[in-house]
Structure 1
Amino acid sequence: MFEGWHLLTNKNGKEIIWIVKGYEHPKEGFISIPYRISGNRIKSDEFSNYIPKEYYRYLDCVGRDVPVVRKDDILNYYDPKEMYFSRKNSLPEKINDLIKYLNPEYVGLIGSYAFGFQVKHSDVDLLLYGNNREIYEKLIELRNSGFISNCINRYNKVSDTMSYNSYKILSELRVLDSCYMNIPYTIRILRQIYNKECVSNYKTLNIFKGEIEIYDNSENYLVPSIYLAYSENYGKIEIMTWHTRYSELPLGKYIIEGVIQLDLKRNKLIIVPDLGGRIDPIKIWA
């Protein structure tokens, strides 16, 4: 199992659906965050309320304590690929047309549509994999042709880590979290469609807050997004994020908050804004 799969557990009579995060996992379970309890969506600031203390483990491949759902506790697995094919006919027709045009090797369905919880203006959440660069370039072509545009205000999804002005600037440039012919969708383009045991080795060093300049964003559309940047204090540094809100950043200068990690295998410094951090543009080159 890898990024986007769902798991079902039952603790004290309450069913919890979890979302698997990342591609590397320990032998005994899967790094996951809670998604729904008894059918109700769990807000990000409430995650800790539903994660048993015994699930937390320090993993070298993450560089910090993370929740690991133990295999013995898993009642059911939900394969995004199977979810897509079982619910394909219930998706908006325009979304199926979009998928056909993008022609990915792999399609997965996650989120509200996967479980029948969708309401008006719910995103269709998709995982895609294939010729990733071609998929992204096709999305850009559709935006340039007027088929993709930002049809709804989604600031409430990112207001905890982004100012409204930053949201407005960046949302107009996005094609992974937008609308196709007025149907909202979120696309996560995966780097791989398999998992492996923890092999990476990160060490969390300290907090970062300051100005950086992104000079290479050629991998800004993948999960995770990786940027090459320059910091006055650290010189050349990478930025790595699993959050859709920080994908597709254009070249330019930003104020960024996050933690600094050392990739011990590559001897590279990395800023990770996903844990209580934020990214705000100062000046972009788009």
Structure 2
Amino acid sequence: MSRRESKYMTSTGRSNATTLRVLEGEVVVYNGLGWIVKGYQHPEKSVIAYPRYDLLNWRKLGNHEATRIIEEHAEWWGCLKVKAPLLPLDSIVKYRPPMMVPSAVEEITWMLELSPLQVEVSGSYLVNPETAGDIDVVVYGATHEVADRIRLLIERGVFKRPSLWILYKEYTNKHIGALDVETYLASKSNTILSLTLGGKIVNLRLYEFERGFSMCVDAVESRRGFRGIIELTDQANPILPSRRKAVFEGDEVYFETHRELYAELPPGLYYVEGDLEVRKSGVYVVADRGRVVGVKGEGVKKGG
């Protein structure tokens, strides 16, 4: 069974079930807050999501406030061997504010020959367009053909990459602590996920799936904290969840991420703090809750 051929997330009779993707990047409403759905697999009748916005006051939650709410809703899920905030599926709705689709999003949809149903605005722009500095856009059901089309449009000058100054501001506002600045700027030098359109910065998240799963799709057999140097040995994969071949202490592993921040890392050596997950399909280094730092030096030698 392929990753696309599993059971789509469905509700238990709620009329809004057909509009919910229950998938990475989707904004849902629960108890007056805007929550960001994480990942593509969820417990039956629940959704893994993290609180991000106070929708009554149109503001982003503070770190301490969000942490408290996360702790109040955190439950253990054996599939991923992790404690995460779980929301009852029959009590959430998709966040649909009364707003016009940004012209930059319409342009991306048309230029990439996408269905409008594939493209959704996420992040702060969805909550308060006047104060948001950029637009986060998720393309669901994205393929490598979509990524190739973006590259072609950049080469032809239709799409443009942000300037070095804009990228640096983006880094200082969002990514300090998750990635060192030198590696960030190097990865963004050939980015297809950060674009300048109509005077707006658009951050793309190309996601493989179209809907989430109400079941355990890729079970974690064991998990532990990870700190070490890995070598990414193949080219960047912008389609999320991004899975790359890597080498750690002479052994072949996978580097996997749901974050566009890490999806475009060029091949090379990296110090990673995160999780080491053992699954039936292999061993995975996951940095999404940690950090990555570029390392200068010779490549890691594979074991014989």
Normalised to the residue count of structure 1, the TM-score between the two structures is 0.83
How big is the shift at 1:150? 1.7
Query: 5+ unaligned residues in a row in structure 1: which ranges?
Result: none
Letter of the structure 2 residue corresponding to residue 256 of structure 1: V
Mapped contact 2:125–2:132 kept (Cα < 8 A): no
Structure 2 residue 41 is matched with structure 1 residue 50: no
Runs of 4+ in structure 1 displaced over 4 angstroms? 43-46
Map of 1:241-256 to 2, 5 A cutoff? Answer: 241-256=257-272
Aligned to 2:11: none
Structure 2 residue 27 is matched with structure 1 residue 6: yes
Letter of the structure 1 residue corresponding to residue 226 of structure 2: F
Figure out how many residues of one structure are paired with residues of the other and give that number.
267
Structure 2 residue 126 is matched with structure 1 residue 114: yes
Aligned to 2:113: 103
Letter of the structure 2 residue corresponding to residue 98 of structure 1: I
Aligned to 1:145: 156
> SS at 2:288's partner residue?
coil
Q: Which has the higher strand share?
A: 1
Aligned to 1:270: 284
RMSD, matched Cα: 2.6
How big is the shift at 1:27? 1.7
How big is the shift at 1:121? 6.2
Letter of the structure 1 residue corresponding to residue 262 of structure 2: Y
Deviations 1:164-186 (A, max 9, x none): 22222222221212323542011
Find the aligned partners of 2:33 and 2:179 in 1 and give their Cα distance: 29
Given candidates 229, 244, 247, the residue that maps to 2:246 is 229
Mapped contact 1:273–1:279 kept (Cα < 8 A): no
Map of 1:1-286 to 2, 5 A cutoff? Answer: 1-10=22-31, 15-37=32-54, 38=56, 39-43=58-62, 47-53=66-72, 55-71=73-89, 73-74=91-92, 76-78=93-95, 87=99, 89-91=100-102, 93-105=103-115, 106-115=118-127, 117-119=128-130, 122-130=133-141, 132-146=143-157, 147-151=159-163, 152=166, 153-155=169-171, 156-180=173-197, 182-199=199-216, 200-217=218-235, 220-233=237-250, 235-263=251-279, 265-266=280-281, 268-282=282-296
